[in-house]
Chains A and B, each alone.
Chain A
């Protein structure tokens, strides 16, 4: 996969600029942690990438061409608030959404087993706990060995056991060669995984680069410390290095 490239991406809602000229390249096979406070534009960026939100300016390209529906057949997406058909069972929901991407039932069954939800396949979705719903959403997203996995706040509300399992699955996907885009506030959960980091602030890209470089630039501490210096401008952080802003 050639780089996924956002160029001068812009989304306005009236006078509000949810995205303001974001330019960013995502290297294939990497894990990009997209960080930023609430309202920074992370979900809007994902919405534009997934075709759910129409950008008011800029381009998104994959392999040098504008991203389209055909590309999205090969992606997986886990939303922050997983919305499925509550009256339908786990199995029915999975078959429907996997079927839309031309995946056979056997593939969904395999992913259901992988996330440990095979035993609950006949339960209506309305009876699932948050953790089970998260796993079902993940099983749907993982179908067909996607080349690009887009996860919006995947670590929210998970207990430590589930969190560990999710991290393990994401590592497996990374080893397989998938590119992962993960937006999160849970920096401690993404730090062991991320290879690249991008920080959005008020719709603008405040910083972007490899994890190691970013940590080194901001005093050699952890990602959390670097993020706080970028996002909150902690004393002594200095200016954001221009080289890290696209």
Chain B
């Protein structure tokens, strides 16, 4: 350290209220969010996710019909059906993996203490963490959907982009819901490892356990026909599911048959909305399967889970001793 000079004395203190009044209102929130996103960018998460996601969409579009004996770039509707299972497995996992260490890692490393000791409220910290995580999730997903979507449109000369856009929008929402759940698990955990285990258990519960339980319940309560409907929505067993979906298109190739199928449409069992993953799947199922669920299911289910998760995380974070 160099020798001090009297002239170096700090100026008259600017009071905290004066500084706060002069600072942009959302500065703390923005700083935390941008730091979180910059960290993911620096660690290669954003680039890796973008490449994986782009490749997954392109390959699914190219090979999605292999199970029914066809190879080639599909149009938007068929690509959507092929991508459905991939999105419902991968996107919640990405959300949970991003969210699970947002708080616990900084708690373990003790960096939270310095941030919170300087007047950053715990609610703003949580908000910033969620926004930063959301950005790190959204950028690769949107990039993948936009680039792959443009390529599919050009290669397949398809302009019926609505199902694909619906899949992209609902997939993004699904990711945010599981990011929120991951954030909650992060505040509940004492170590990174504990948070990771909880995140993987949550993923298994959403993807497998709930659906198997739902099918079992339906089978007991309403018989085999009902269970078949649930299987289509929940895709619990994953056996030939993509082939099933594409078979629906094949059998409904004829316009009259498609129209007839749509007249048989009935709403999905509402209690399946407990699981946002099933609400997502029901929203994106081909209409030819005659089971439908609008945006309301996903918005209600996803919104409720997101609010519950963030509220729970905020409650827990307020009570943490650092």
Contact = CB atoms under 8 A, between A and B. Distances in A.
Nearest to A131: B1
B42 A87 contact: yes
Contact of A77 (B1, B12, B117): B117
B22 interface: yes
Contacts of A114: 4, 8
B114 A53 contact: no
A196 interface: no
B13 interface: yes
A78 to B, nearest CB: 9
A81 B110 contact: yes
A157 to B, nearest CB: 15
B322 A75 contact: no
A52 B16 contact: no
Interface string A152-190: 000000000110010011001101111000000000000
A131 to B, nearest CB: 9
B267 interface: no
B30 to A, nearest CB: 9
Given A53-B321, A70-B20, A145-B14, 15 more contacts: A50-B113, A52-B117, A53-B322, A54-B321, A72-B16, A73-B20, A83-B111, A87-B39, A97-B118, A101-B119, A102-B20, A114-B8, A147-B13, A172-B9, A176-B13
B296 interface: no
9 contacts: A73-B19, A74-B19, A83-B114, A84-B111, A100-B32, A102-B27, A145-B12, A172-B8, A177-B13
B115 A100 contact: yes
Interface string B10-42: 111111110110110001100110010001001
Given A73-B119, A142-B10, A100 B31 contact: yes
A72 B16 CA distance: 8
Contacts of A231: none
A153 B1 CA distance: 19
B118 A75 contact: yes
Contact of B113 (A83, A135, A162): A83
B109 interface: yes
Contact of B16 (A70, A142, A165): A70
B13 A73 contact: no
A116 interface: yes
A72 B117 contact: yes
Contacts, number: 123
Nearest to A49: B117
Interface of B: 1-2, 4, 8-17, 19-20, 22-23, 27-28, 31-32, 35, 39, 42, 109-111, 113-121, 319, 321-322
A172 B10 CA distance: 8
Contacts of B19: 73-74, 101-103, 144
Nearest to B108: A83
B223 to A, nearest CB: 54
A69 interface: yes
Contacts of A77: 114, 117-118
Contacts of A165: 1, 4
A54 B14 contact: no
Contacts of B121: 69
Of A73, A140, A142, A146, chain B has the most CB atoms within 10 Å of the CB of A73
Contacts of A115: 1
Contacts of A84: 111, 114
Of B1, B19, B120, chain A has the most CB atoms within 10 Å of the CB of B1
A122 interface: no
B10 A52 contact: no
Nearest to A52: B322
Contacts of A50: 113, 116-117
Contacts of A101: 19, 118-119
A39 interface: no
A74 B27 contact: no
A37 interface: no
A73 B35 contact: no
B109 A169 contact: no
Contacts of B319: 54
Interface in A90-133: 96-97, 99-103, 114-116
B118 A73 contact: yes
B102 to A, nearest CB: 14
Contacts of A87: 39, 42
Nearest to B121: A69
Contacts of A213: none
Given A84-B111, A162-B1, A145 B117 contact: no
